[in-house]
Structure 1
Amino acid sequence: MSKKRTIKKFSVLLSCVTLCGLLLAGCGGGTSESGKVSSSNSAGGSGEASQEKVNLSLLIDSGQDTVNTAKALVEAFEAKYPNITIDTETRPGGSEGDNFVKTRLATEDMNDIFIYNSGSLLQALNPEKNLLDLTNEPFQANVIDSFKPTVSFNQKIYGAPVGSTMAGGWLYNKKVYAKLGLSVPKTWEELKANNDKIKAAGITPIIGTFKDAWSSQMIVLADYYNVQAQVPNFAADYTANKAKFASTPAALRSFQKLADTVGYYNKDFLAATYDSGLKMLAEGKGAQYPMVSFAIPTIIQNNPELIDDIGFFAQPGDQPDQNGATVWMPFAAYVYKNTEHAEEAKKFVNFIASIEGVEAISKVSKPSGPYAIKGAALPSDTPQVVKDMLPYFDEGKTAPALEFLSPVKGPNLEQITVEVGAGKRNAADAAELYDKDVEKQAQQLGLEGW
């Protein structure tokens, strides 16, 4: 590294933890004094490493769950490799944290390892210049295939998953389903039929919480598995301005599905909040809630006695044999390209992406979905709603959400989806409006073809 800094120990940093926005957390930085080391371990996971003391630095975001996860990983790793010490530093979350990471890289003052977003935000870090190529690391054999594109650039893989995935689809109340004799739908028409039966029984079929406008996007975003199943190259063509929502029938279908939900929401859906929606679902006052599984810990916290009443199913497509889940991927661990201790840093990343690493994480962080590591078992106390997601992963029927495959996402999507869900805009107009919305952002990013 070009600069040396003394890192405060993790116990000091823990007291400085601040809250950060959900899903906006990135990674935080700092470096540390390290001695010279010679190592014959060129694979980052095989061979005999030097027993000379090595000090690595790890950059993480300040979110409590990330802090707990990092502490557990570091303690387990240091117990296994006592000659390697890892000092951890936190950074802010959200856009401030993004700028923090970019500044560290631009000034060539980055930590040996850092945990940051997977997906489109990675592209802004200039991976080929700043990150170590991890394509041939042993841990890659452990990682589920659907994660790898989210940490890849120009056919090279730069990251390892940290923590569990999250699935986007429909949370539903199993007691309501059982009472009405309903089956989990595998096609959109089956879902519409369920909605009619639920409404006839005097129960809210679909919970809407459009006061928190971001939640209105879920049906459109969770439909991406179905889009990719029909148009495998949509993400690449969309990024290159060769495909549009309005002119691609499979993508337009996402807005059409949202339009189909008009009339099935709770009466106060425009004023209802995310928290009130979760309460409705847990209490069975609403039967279904389109949502990402990051909601599960909140239900466990607020209604622990009712969590067993909640189930999950992927957003249905139009063919039962194509039913699969759209997945929000976990953060990733990256190695700074100019680290002076590449082999030791890779050894830590290999540990993170191992069964042993996942077991360390599971002791301090409840999963919101299956892990991105093959063979990693969910803790025994994992609620059934999370286990409901396993078949999609086991059968390879998952796809990353579009935002993990393309940097193009218009800022006004949630306003557009509120209008569609409220019956104030039709699907075709919404898709055209959204295509215009993303154009400005793509131009700001300097993407080719825009």
Structure 2
Amino acid sequence: MSQVSRSRKSVRAVGLMAAAAIALTGCSGGGGGGEDGTVELTWLQGSGVQTNIDIAQSLVDAFEAENPDIKIKVDSSGGAGSEYDNLLKTRLATGEVGDMFWYNSGSQLQGLNPDQTLLNVADEPWVEDLDETFRSVVSGSDGAVFGAPAGSAGTGGILYNVPVYEELGLEVPTTWDEFVSNSDAIKAAGKTAVQMTFADTWTAQILTLSDFYNVYKSDPEWADKYTANEAKFATDPVAVEGFTKLQELADGGYFNADFASATLDEGLVAVASGEAGHYPMFTALYSTLKTLAPDDLEDIGYFSVPGDDAADNGGTVWYPAAVYAPKDTEHPEAVKKFMAFVASPAGCDAVIEASGVTGPMLVDGCELPEDAPRMVTDMYPYFDEERVAPALEFLSPIKGPALEQLLVEVGSGIRSAEDAAALYDQDVEKQAQQLGLDGW
């Protein structure tokens, strides 16, 4: 089955994507047993994202209601980011990580040496119900599978204000030239054409990262070549467009005047209110929009970052974090039972109960709620028509730390796109060497 054919089956249901590319945190001890025979498990969870804590607790509450003989403690007392990575690796090495933990899928998972440290659940029946691409990004060697999805898939691209489009008679663009033309019309109408929020520097990456579908479509093996030091952003005419598109928008004066100091929250409010026509962002931020602009949710649509050919228009996908277990858990059968629940329609319902509807779930049998928001329904055709590709970080372990700052400089007119791409190619060399990758 193709990487998206399961997505076509599973896209009917939705939930929250664990934040593209966020490593979650926490501390826990080992599980135990109660005097009445109850099995007690611990779930290592992070403190960095409250919505993810809410999802974890919702899953636990729903599971315990059906399985009163198993109790799960969600421990979210840890730090975030690299602090958690180091803590988790240490605890896996010393056997002190507890019974389960929440962690990223994709290439970051390989840094945990999963074949040696994690419980293999490949033989569990529910694994066959997982989206095929998600299954591949929580896998190891020889068919091993390690995780159950703790949220939904989501896409990166352009959030747009639907009333602005309707007022100006604009159509959703399927080529970059059409997107620029729409931006011209929005700018001429006295509105911000493209919102940028460089106060939160990571947001400067969204346009470039979300452009990867176009790279993948031009060469499905590009990520492998990149990992082997056989492809570069600066020297590939399609890959470099993720940088040049940002420069084109900056040079054209399409950004909000306060782009250097505007925050993520301000950007979301701007596109929700119609102050801005476009905002490059992850669809996973829908849960934040529910808080910031609850009355404007149906005014926000989504489309992918278009390329040069309308026939090849498609979206870049970020896959959710997952629930994993260490190989040495004291209660493997109880853990597997919980993971089966997570990867079930009841698990989907628990996620949606905690976070709302923010993207396609990756489990067969989950149903799309009738009140799915406009942003989510706009995502559906990309999955249904098999016009999606994983973000680069799910296909390659290489991502240099300087990317966001380089893109801030491009978006601020300080550095050219070509120069930034070349510097980024240099930036990843040290990381690739540290990872011991061949060809570096």
Per the normalisation by structure 1, the TM-score is 0.86
The aligned counterpart of 1:253 is 241
CA RMSD of aligned residues (A): 2.4
Residue type of the partner of 2:110?
A: Q
Aligned residues with identical type, % of pairs: 48
CA contact (8 A) 2:175 2:307 kept: yes
Select the residue among 266, 276, 285 that pairs with 1:276. Answer: 266
Question: What are structure 2's unaligned runs of at least 5 residues?
Answer: 1-18
Counterparts in 2 of 1:341 and 1:398: CA distance versus 1, 3 Å:
same
CA contact (8 A) 2:100 2:323 kept: yes
The aligned counterpart of 2:118 is 131
The aligned counterpart of 1:166 is 154
CA contact (8 A) 1:259 1:426 kept: yes
Report how far residue 388 of structure 1 moved.
Answer: 1.5
Counterparts in 2 of 1:215 and 1:300: CA distance versus 1, 3 Å:
same
Select the residue among 98, 106, 116 that pairs with 1:111. Answer: 98
Farther off after superposition, 121-130 or 340-349: 340-349
CA contact (8 A) 2:25 2:44 kept: no
Residue type of the partner of 1:356?
A: A
Deviation digits for residues 68-90 of structure 1 (CA, Å, limit 9, x no counterpart): 22222222222323333333323
Select the residue among 15, 19, 40 that pairs with 1:55. Answer: 40
Select the residue among 395, 402, 408 that pairs with 2:398. Answer: 408
The aligned counterpart of 1:8 is none
For residues 290 and 305 of structure 1, the distance between their equivalents in structure 2, rounded to whole angstroms, comes to 21
Q: Does 1:67 align with 2:53?
A: yes
The aligned counterpart of 1:89 is 75
Map 1:38-437 onto structure 2 (within 5 A): 53-62=38-47, 63-90=49-76, 91-154=78-141, 155-262=143-250, 263=252, 264-437=254-427
For residues 83 and 39 of structure 2, the distance between their equivalents in structure 1, rounded to whole angstroms, comes to 31
For residues 26 and 310 of structure 2, the distance between their equivalents in structure 1, rounded to whole angstroms, comes to 40
Deviation digits for residues 130-150 of structure 1 (CA, Å, limit 9, x no counterpart): 012223322222222232232
For residues 29 and 97 of structure 2, the distance between their equivalents in structure 1, rounded to whole angstroms, comes to 7
Deviation digits for residues 391-437 of structure 1 (CA, Å, limit 9, x no counterpart): 22222322221122222111111121122223333332221111001
For residues 102 and 397 of structure 1, the distance between their equivalents in structure 2, rounded to whole angstroms, comes to 36
For residues 375 and 206 of structure 1, the distance between their equivalents in structure 2, rounded to whole angstroms, comes to 38
Report how far residue 22 of structure 1 moved.
Answer: 9.0
Report how far residue 380 of structure 1 moved.
Answer: 4.0
3-state SS in 1 of match to 2:127: helix
Counterparts in 2 of 1:361 and 1:58: CA distance versus 1, 3 Å:
same
For residues 162 and 21 of structure 1, the distance between their equivalents in structure 2, rounded to whole angstroms, comes to 13
For residues 56 and 30 of structure 1, the distance between their equivalents in structure 2, rounded to whole angstroms, comes to 9
CA contact (8 A) 1:113 1:336 kept: yes
Report how far residue 26 of structure 1 moved.
Answer: 4.0
For residues 79 and 355 of structure 1, the distance between their equivalents in structure 2, rounded to whole angstroms, comes to 15
CA contact (8 A) 1:28 1:114 kept: no
CA contact (8 A) 1:362 1:379 kept: no
CA contact (8 A) 2:213 2:391 kept: yes
The structure whose RCO (Cα within 8 Å, separation 6+) is larger is 2
Residue type of the partner of 2:39?
A: V
Residue type of the partner of 1:23?
A: I
Residue type of the partner of 2:31?
A: S
CA contact (8 A) 2:348 2:366 kept: yes
Select the structure of larger CA radius of gyration: 1
CA contact (8 A) 1:258 1:421 kept: yes
CA contact (8 A) 1:160 1:349 kept: yes
For residues 34 and 148 of structure 1, the distance between their equivalents in structure 2, rounded to whole angstroms, comes to 31
3-state SS in 1 of match to 2:190: coil
Report how far residue 362 of structure 1 moved.
Answer: 1.4
Question: What are structure 1's unaligned runs of at least 5 residues?
Answer: 1-19, 37-50
Report how far residue 21 of structure 1 moved.
Answer: 12
Farther off after superposition, 378-387 or 101-110: 378-387
For residues 289 and 52 of structure 2, the distance between their equivalents in structure 1, rounded to whole angstroms, comes to 20
Per the normalisation by structure 2, the TM-score is 0.88
For residues 20 and 131 of structure 2, the distance between their equivalents in structure 1, rounded to whole angstroms, comes to 27
3-state SS in 2 of match to 1:250: coil
Report how far residue 353 of structure 1 moved.
Answer: 0.7
For residues 98 and 132 of structure 2, the distance between their equivalents in structure 1, rounded to whole angstroms, comes to 28
